[in-house]
Amino acid sequence: MKKKILLIDDEAAFTSMLKLFLESTGEYNVAVENNPHRAVNAAEIHTPHLILLDVIMPELEGSDVADRIRQHPNLNKTPIIFLTATIREDEMQESQGVIADQQFIAKLSNTDFLIDSIEKKIALTHS
């Protein structure tokens, strides 16, 4: 069965490309939400195995979205990976992307590293 991923980012062009790429691996079904205010709602509907969440969005920051998801009784176990543009890839890999207990991935990571991180995170939470 394919794994469900919810992708939350206000950049529509970016989300559609990342969705295309992830789905082309044959491993995932990707749902996209470009409005951070509707993020919790989208998560309720799709019940994803994992959420990819942009850090910097106007109006509502990624960390606020994450707080809401984690406070939600049905969603609080859903693993979240933050996507960020303001950290370098090598910085990221030094700490395996874990900063202050949160999993981060550089938006321009090499694609293998992205898949790898997603797989690990899902395996960890659903084992």
Partner 1 sequence: MVDQFAIQYQSPLRVLVVEDNPVDLTVIKSMLTGTTDNYTFLKTASTIKTALEIIEEYPIDVVILDLNLPDSQGEKTLQTVHNRFNDLTIVVNTGAYEEELGLHTLSNGAQDFLVKGRYTAYTLNKVLHFAIKRKKLETELTRTVQQVKDAQEQLLQAEKMNVVGILASGIAHEVRNPLATILYGITYLHENIRVEDKNYHHVLKNIKEATKRANDIISDLLDFSKFKKLQLDETNIHHVIKKALSLIQYEIDKKTLQIVNDFQNSIPPIKIDQNRIEQVIVNLLLNAIHATEEGKISIRTYTRTLSNDLTEIPQISRKNFTPGQQALFCSIDDSGSGIPAEDIDQVFYPFFTSRRAKGGIGLGLYVARNIIDIHKGALILKNNEDKGAQAIVVLPYR
- Shortest Cβ 126–partner 1 spacing (Å): 25
- Counting Cα atoms < 13 Å in the Cβ hemisphere of 55 gives 13
Q: Which two tokens stand for residue 126?
A: 């659903």
Residue 56 or 72 having the CB closest to partner 1? 56
Residue 47 or 119 having the CB closest to partner 1? 119
- Shortest Cβ 127–partner 1 spacing (Å): 28
Task: Note whether 48 and 5 are within 8 A (CB).
Answer: yes
Size of the site for partner 1 (CB under 8 A): 19
Task: Note whether 106 and 87 are within 8 A (CB).
Answer: yes
Interface residue with partner 1 among 1, 13, 100, 101 (CB under 8 A) is 13
H/E stretch holding 87: none
Task: Note whether 38 and 68 are within 8 A (CB).
Answer: no
Using CB under 8 A, list all residues that contact partner 1: 11, 13-14, 17-18, 20-21, 24, 56, 59, 64, 85-89, 107-108, 111
